[in-house]
Chains A and B, each alone.
Chain A
Amino acid sequence: MVDAFQLNQETKDNLGKPDETKRQVFVFGGPIQEVLNIEEGPSILKTRNVSNDSIWGAFNWGESNWDSSYSSGFFLGNSIFGVLGTSELGSTPKTFSVVRVVNPFNRFIERFGYTTFKDTSGTTATWSGDEELVFATSTNQVAISNSIFLNEETIFKATFTVEGTNTSDGDYYLSADGGVNWEVVTLNTQHTFTNTGQDLRFKIGNGEDLSVASFPTEFGTWGFIESPKYIVLTDIKITYEV
């Protein structure tokens, strides 16, 4: 398959007419205008300890390691735990924790085809895995990521770039310490972190100054700095230095 996309490949039969397959497929009416790339995106390593889990079908079924917690047990007849046909037989499995996130060439790519990196507890913009991140005009919204780089290495600098519609209307933030401290960044400009750390995340808003959730207005009320803007993002790249 790789050979099919080597655009510089020069093949020619030893006998007969030259092989014109490449020209027919890739070059039509002029020089090559496009390249089709396969890019390696982020890789995540998640882990969990299943020593006390006892879900039917799990590896450790039958090893006498039922959970000791009644709150996650299986009770026939209980309306919450162990509903036949709905719940799995056994305890609630432990959740996975993200322990590593690495990116080729220290460059994170997000194209919103998945929600893998979406912080579901904090994101209010539409990030549903349909290849775009949408901020509505009617309300202040925010998109927050989970860890996009996490590898026991300290992050010192990062550059945030985006593609989409009305991108200049967005407010862009990065955190190198897992979201404890958010720092305002300027698109396409390398940012040096004041608060360094080992857990890189991004945050985007469509009008609200997210660094100061609200502020007192001249009318004595609390308000937002800007009215919300309609923004659609289709591509994010964050390049960082460790």
Chain B
Amino acid sequence: MVFLNEGVNRVRDLFEEDVFKCQAGEGQTAPSASDTGLETPDSTTLLTPDTVVADKAIQVTHTINSAIGGGTTYAEQETQLDSGDTSANRIVHTPLAKGASDEFIYITTFFLRSI
């Protein structure tokens, strides 16, 4: 048997449909698979992302405009699934302060692959 591309892309579409919100935070602890969300989330950044699919891939774009988070130093970000009950991933980067006139955009790519 072999996974067909269209079957893999059906799973991709299910994943895309399940993407709910993205959120940023200030936690700096390295991510772990056992994490259940952000360490120090900033709820003002809990926003609906844009998604773009490609063959066996999905890209999630989380835009935080200048009205949000001025003065906050962000270091982590997540993509939530399932109406926010599940975090799909958590990334951590070196801290970056967001000024009151700054826009932030996080772009994360997910791949699906049969092995």
Contacts and interface: CB of A to CB of B under 8 A. Distances in A.
A43 B111 contact: no
Nearest to B17: A1
A18 to B, nearest CB: 22
Contacts of A131: 54-56
Contact of A113 (B56, B102, B104, B106): B56
A70 interface: no
B84 to A, nearest CB: 15
A38 B57 contact: no
Contacts of B103: 47-50, 96
B104 A41 contact: no
A100 to B, nearest CB: 4
Nearest to B65: A59
B107 A1 contact: no
Contacts of A100: 93-94, 96
A37 B94 contact: no
Interface stretch (A28-36, A82-90, A186-194, A225-233): A28-36
Interface string B81-115: 10000000101111010110111111111111111
Contacts of A109: 109, 111
A165 interface: no
A45 B105 CA distance: 6
A151 interface: yes
Contact of A51 (B1, B2, B77, B101): B101
B42 to A, nearest CB: 14
A208 to B, nearest CB: 29
A151 B76 CA distance: 12
B111 A60 contact: no
Contacts of A153: 94
Contact of A40 (B14, B56, B81, B110): B110
Interface in A174-224: none
B18 to A, nearest CB: 6
B77 A47 contact: no
B45 interface: no
A44 interface: yes
Contacts of B96: 45, 47, 99-100
Interface in A148-177: 151-153
A45 B110 contact: no
B28 interface: no
Given A41-B111, A44-B107, A152-B94, 12 more contacts: A1-B11, A33-B2, A34-B115, A35-B115, A38-B112, A39-B112, A41-B108, A45-B106, A47-B102, A111-B56, A114-B59, A131-B54
A1 B18 contact: yes
B47 interface: no
A1 B15 contact: yes
A73 interface: no
A37 B112 contact: yes
10 contacts: A36-B11, A45-B93, A48-B102, A49-B103, A50-B103, A100-B96, A113-B57, A114-B57, A151-B93, A152-B94
Contacts of A152: 94
